Amino acid sequence: MRIFSRLYYIALRWAHHPKAPWYLGGLSFAESSFFPIPPDVMLAPMVLAKRNKAWRFASITTVTSVLGGIFGYLIGWLAFDLIEPWLNNIGYGDELELSRQWFLRWGVWVVFIAGFAPIPYKLFTISAGALAMSFIPFVIASLIGRGARFFLVAGLIKAGGERMERALHKYVDTLGWITIAAAVSVYLVFR
């Protein structure tokens, strides 16, 4: 299936749009609290399109992702009882319970790891709020984890340049499925 290459070409088209930084910020914010598509799919093509703005794009992605994480935290803190049935209905019940267990076991380190890894960060932002995790450590761990991830992506794409672009075109579907397999594996191992 060539699902990821189709998404990649759409993201490349968006990356050239004059309002692309706004789209990137909106996607980053939404993904951290309720939307399923990670901002990397737009960050990478934007860096490829304008390599001189790699650090700006990584900064936008990081800041708006952390703001979205704060929104997710507030959802969990203020409205968890209202959204828990909905999360269960859309199939996130097991992951939500797993995130609770991880919080109880590892605390703030879970936020850092979830911010960096290709797992649904929104579940951890909502869980952090629902469990009333200390807010300042939550924000700091989110900033470090998300920042590390997005600056790494931007740096790799910037350094790889045209060669990286050709490799992405060639292997985007394989990389997408590997990422999904890795996320499922992490879930199964820590389950």
Model pLDDT for residues 85-94, shown as the tens digit of each residue: 887 787 777 8
**In the predicted model, is pLDDT for residue 6 greater than 80?**
no
Instruction: pLDDT band for 98, please (50, 70, 90 cuts).
Output: confident
Q: What is the pLDDT of residue 52?
A: 92
pLDDT digits (tens, 9 = 90+) for 116-163: 776 778 878 888 898 888 999 999 999 999 999 999 989 988 998 777
- The single-letter code of the amino acid at 159 is A
Give the separation between CA 109 and CA 73, rounded to whole angstroms: 16
Which whole number is the average pLDDT over 3-31? 81
Q: For the chain, what percent of residues have pLDDT higher than 90?
A: 29
Q: In sequence order, what are the residues at sequence separation of 6 or more whose Cβ sits closer than 8 angstroms to the Cβ of residue 41?
A: 7, 8, 11
* Res 189: pLDDT: 59
Give me the pLDDT at residue 142, please. 94
CA atoms of 144 and 18, how far apart (whole Å): 29
Higher pLDDT, 50 or 22: 22
Task: Please give the model's pTM, rounded to 2 decimal places.
Answer: 0.77
For residue 5, how many C-alpha atoms fall within 13 Å in the half-sphere facing its CB? Answer: 11
| pLDDT confidence of residue 116 | 78
User: What element of type H or E holds 167?
Assistant: helix 135-190
User: Does pLDDT of 188 surpass 70?
Assistant: no
Regarding predicted confidence, which is higher, 191 or 158?
Answer: 158
